[in-house]
Chains A and B, each alone.
Chain A
């Protein structure tokens, strides 16, 4: 049954991906395109769609893992300030010319930021080993404000190139997508997802609580740290590919939990695939409805995601993931 559902999800993803290649402000026929159209497909639309799928996968997967480790249905890399932390360190790295890791410099600095914020939010949100859901959210919101302010400061100080990238990181924009981003993006996303899926038992046990995790033979601290690393890898990948896009990590696990259940072994890959399809679709919508203007995907996901967030907040049982 699950295989069938995952297959349907993958088919949906493939259809959305193909749609995003051939549809848009200019509709290109898949059965006969001229050289200019081929150039649009290969140089612009294909890298952009691949980047959208990778980012969406990273965000959907990261959301599924975060909601589990933090035992909080409102967790999402964007809401908890992890994305903005990653953007901030990446922007700082870029502006100070920090290229120690070569091609991987931006994702690596983003990863460091994401991991620091994840650990920080985790530390703020806990009291005597118990996670307090409201504290956790407020910690994320507070850190998010802080990082945003520092990013604004950098923005007002930065040069043209830095400015453009910093703007990108603040609002999320796929129009800068290009082929050169894709190899390292793929590596980071697959690495993050791989770690998360390989620790699915520990994640399920952590959802029951630290004491259950202990009783079932896991070290809660160690497993949580490993999973934080996987979330940070995925968030960093997504931020360095196309900036901060919110709410995919919130929405996808919820929809998938409803469709396929809560077992992390299935939920993580399903949320990732659904996230890929969703971002690819919102990007297609964003560049199609008002050409030549583009609505950044981050705005569309926020318009859908923020009301849902408020809806969840109103539900009495915040802890029920």
Chain B
């Protein structure tokens, strides 16, 4: 870890998890997230990406091991206090709620009893939805809807965002916009995020990625170090060729199923 991230805000140590009566899905997982880190979480379907995010947000409780948020045991937080430190966005594929954008975004203030550091309008500005404030969420495009939820999270003021596949089913333009927005949040406010991902090409844009398989970490580090053909083959069960373009950017070719 570079010195820039000297303070870990979230630490999982030897965490194991299984739903009652079923097989272990997270096995002896150890990871640490520093202030302002931006981590991509990559793995095949069912590899445990969502479960890791739910453990890290305190929704699920580990069977064994330790999960600390700001050096304090996760489950020892009061709900409201935890909500000021971390915010979790579940997959939003089928979210269909009757609120307007303004009503939804305003919910980000629920953990607070004091005046917010940010207003609803400022949060909407930050995600470029100022002109849609009074629209019902159901009238928004998929990309706009996700930005509305991000705005709610911004208002919540948490320094750590755990996002479950926020890019899934989004047009590439919206994917880029959302990534840019999160990048800005990191630069301006030092907000850390862990994002479950599907697209390996997009993972190359992260400064740090974590590749998982069957609930254990195959590799963690820079994309160039982790996302090699060998590792990806191990994680996804297909041969994947990692290529480098003339401009230095990296892209991949999918091979055949093994």
Contacts and interface: CB of A to CB of B under 8 A. Distances in A.
Interface of A: 201, 204-205, 207-209, 211-212, 214-219, 257, 261-263, 317, 319-321
B88 A211 contact: yes
B110 A262 contact: no
B212 interface: no
A211 B107 contact: no
Given A211-B90, A214-B59, A216-B156, A201 B110 contact: yes
Interface of B: 54, 57-59, 79-84, 86-90, 94-100, 103-104, 107-108, 110-111, 138, 156
A197 to B, nearest CB: 15
9 contacts: A207-B97, A207-B98, A214-B59, A214-B79, A216-B83, A218-B79, A261-B100, A262-B97, A263-B99
Contacts of A205: 107, 110
B98 A257 contact: yes
A319 B96 contact: yes
A321 B97 CA distance: 7
B192 to A, nearest CB: 15
Contact of A321 (B57, B59, B98): B98
Given A214-B88, A216-B107, A208 B97 contact: yes
Contacts of B100: 261-262
B95 A217 contact: no
B107 A214 contact: no
A113 B24 CA distance: 40
Contacts of A217: 79-84, 110-111
A94 to B, nearest CB: 40
Contacts of B111: 216-217
A67 to B, nearest CB: 10
Contacts of A319: 94, 96
A176 to B, nearest CB: 38
A205 B95 CA distance: 13
Nearest to A204: B107
A27 B107 CA distance: 50
A208, A217, A219, A263: most-surrounded residue (chain B CB, <10 A): A217
Among A201, A216, A262, A263, find the residue whose CB has the most chain B CB atoms closer than 10 A: A216
A169 B138 CA distance: 40
Q: Is the interface of B mostly helix, strand, loop or mixed?
A: mixed
A310 to B, nearest CB: 21
A220 to B, nearest CB: 9
Contacts of B103: 204, 261-263
Contacts of B110: 201, 204-205, 216-218
A214 B99 contact: no
A209 to B, nearest CB: 7
B8 to A, nearest CB: 21
A242 B168 CA distance: 52
Interface-central residue, A205, A207, A208, A212, by most chain B CB under 10 Å: A212
Contacts of B108: 216
Given A215-B57, A218-B79, A320 B98 contact: yes
Most chain A beta-carbon neighbours within 10 Å: one of B54, B87, B96, B98: B98
B124 to A, nearest CB: 17
A219 B79 contact: yes
A214 B57 contact: yes
A264 to B, nearest CB: 10
Contacts of B80: 217
A51 B89 CA distance: 45
Contacts of B54: 211
Contacts of A216: 83, 107-108, 110-111, 156
Contacts of B81: 217
Contact of B89 (A201, A215, A317, A320): A215
A201 B107 contact: yes
A208 B95 contact: yes
A68 to B, nearest CB: 9
Contacts of B96: 317, 319-320
A262 B97 CA distance: 9
B155 to A, nearest CB: 10
Nearest to B79: A217
B136 to A, nearest CB: 9
Contacts of B88: 211, 214-215
A47 to B, nearest CB: 37
A291 B203 CA distance: 76
Given A209-B90, A216-B110, A216-B111, 20 more contacts: A201-B107, A204-B99, A205-B107, A207-B97, A208-B95, A208-B97, A209-B95, A211-B90, A212-B90, A215-B86, A216-B83, A216-B156, A217-B110, A217-B111, A218-B110, A219-B79, A261-B99, A320-B96, A320-B98, A321-B97
A211 B99 contact: no
Contacts of B82: 217
A268 to B, nearest CB: 14
